[in-house]
Amino acid sequence: MFIFILNHFLKGIILKNQFTLIALAACFTGNVFAQDIVKIGHVAPLSGPIAHLGKDNEYGARLAIEELNAKGITIGGKKVKFELLAEDDAADPKQGTAAAQKLVDQKVNGVVGHLNSGTSIPASKIYSDAGIPQISPSSTNPKFTRQGYKTTFRVVADDVHLGGTLGRYAVQKLSAKNIAVIDDRTAYGQGVADEFEKAAKAAGATIVGREFTTDKATDFTSILTTIKGKKPDVIFFGGMDAVAGPMIKQAKALGLNAKFMGGDGICTGELVKLSGGTIADNQVYCAEAGGVEGPQEKILADFNAKFKKRFNTDVQIYAPYVYDAVNVMVEAMVKANSSDPAKYLPVLAKTSGFKGVTGAIGFDEKGDIKNGSLTLHSFKAGNKISIAVVR
């Protein structure tokens, strides 16, 4: 009797262990219990003077990831879970390349970022060498997509379009004859200023001065005093809002009454606060790479409301483009039946007519958005107002 009970007990242990081993093996092979993880990298400045813009971008990515996971996306017959790997590049090229290499080492399936052209351009080589698709939601320097990399895309118009439109607007609509140009020497700032200057000259304006600063500067008295003596009708600044705000405030203190213009880097809701509330009505003009019209306006407005409800803050500028970039990337994975970069990259490159909150998205042979739009803005009563959408 004792031997019978002992044999039965031992058989039970063996059988139990067999089921345990089978279950464990299934987990490791991904057939039962396991869920495929798809890693999406995101890089933006989360520290430094434009951290408010970087956080805005990250929130756009986070919202997209949360919604995709709630939908229960299936890729290649398997349910997947998306994971956001967010990195801070502090708008610094060296930190940007370090962040890019970290994401490559973590074997991300794709990257949405970086925010700045100055970090996106050097990082793009690292992603290209690793074969990892990169979609920037906000880098506008033309060089970004002109390096011959097959992994590089953007969902906004570039500086040729943006700077050129602003240059023509300054002459044709603001009647500017004498223009001073300042840039912060970053890839973005210098690039957009160059395109603005080229278009303004072609439209008949005279560039009375070209001055330089940095993206960390806070005192512009010397530059502005020099410019004041040249009596410009318009001052164009190539750089970000964290520098433009104090510059506008100091120009006001010096009695410099010229119109102030800039690209998408200054075209934010924070500019009024950063200028100390010194912006007069219709004094500042800027352009944002992107823009919607007609029925698309309600779609974008609904996104903005959803964004505010989730994060308790308003969209700064590019969160909707980050949101769309994540969804464009995932749609390519679904169509390719694979999150393997090598397999979904060709599908991503052929994206056409994707219906995003920022409008229809498709890429040309360089990775630029087709038929990219931009929106001209001014400021009135302390609020940014839209003037027109230009394609």
As a whole number, mean pLDDT of residues 260-280 equals: 94
Of 38-42, 57-61, 84-88, 137-141, minimum mean pLDDT range: 137-141
Q: Which residue has the higher pLDDT, 2 or 101?
A: 101
List, in order, residues 6 or more apart from 115 with CB less than 8 Å away: 43, 44, 45, 50, 53, 54, 57, 89, 91, 136, 137, 138, 139, 318
Give the tens place of pLDDT for each residue, 58-113.
Answer: 999 999 999 999 999 999 999 999 999 999 999 999 999 999 999 999 999 999 99
Of 10-19, 322-331, 352-361, minimum mean pLDDT range: 10-19
The residues spanned by each domain of the chain are 36-156+294-371, 160-289
Of 8-17, 121-130, 380-389, minimum mean pLDDT range: 8-17
| Environment class of 141 (CB within 10 Å of its CB; exposed 0-12, middle 13-18, buried 19+) | buried
What is d(CA 43, CA 200) in angstroms, rounded to the nearest whole number?
34
Output the pTM of the full model.
Answer: 0.82
Percent of the chain topping pLDDT 70: 91
Q: What is the pLDDT of residue 293?
A: 78
Angle at the Cα of 263 from the Cα atoms of 260 and 265, rounded to 5 degrees? 105
Q: Is the pLDDT of residue 11 over 60?
A: no
Q: Which residue has the higher pLDDT, 25 or 43?
A: 43
Give the tens place of pLDDT for each residue, 154-170.
Answer: 999 898 989 999 999 99
What is d(CA 183, CA 212) in angstroms, rounded to the nearest whole number?
5
As a whole number, mean pLDDT of residues 242-257 equals: 96
| Environment class of 263 (CB within 10 Å of its CB; exposed 0-12, middle 13-18, buried 19+) | buried
Q: What is the CATH number of domain 36-156+294-371?
A: 3.40.50.2300
Q: Is the pLDDT of residue 18 over 50?
A: no
Exposure string over 166-193, b if 16+ CB within 10 A, otherwise e: bbbbbbeebebeebbbbbbebbbbbbbb
The yes-or-no answer to whether 36-156+294-371 and 160-289 have a common fold is: yes
As a whole number, mean pLDDT of residues 250-258 equals: 96
Q: What is the pLDDT of residue 144?
A: 97
Give the tens place of pLDDT for each residue, 182-215.
Answer: 999 999 999 999 999 999 999 999 999 999 999 9
Q: Is the pLDDT of residue 387 over 70?
A: yes
What is d(CA 360, CA 369) in angstroms, rounded to the nearest whole number?
9
Q: What is the pLDDT of residue 29?
A: 39
Q: What is the pLDDT of residue 368?
A: 96
As a whole number, mean pLDDT of residues 111-116 equals: 97
Give the tens place of pLDDT for each residue, 298-310.
Answer: 999 999 999 999 9
Q: What is the CATH number of domain 160-289?
A: 3.40.50.2300
Q: Left, alpha or beta for 377 (phi > 0: left; psi -120 to 50: alpha)? A: beta
Coil, strand, or helix at residue 163? Answer: helix
Of 17-26, 60-69, 149-158, 366-375, minimum mean pLDDT range: 17-26
Q: What is the pLDDT of residue 294?
A: 81
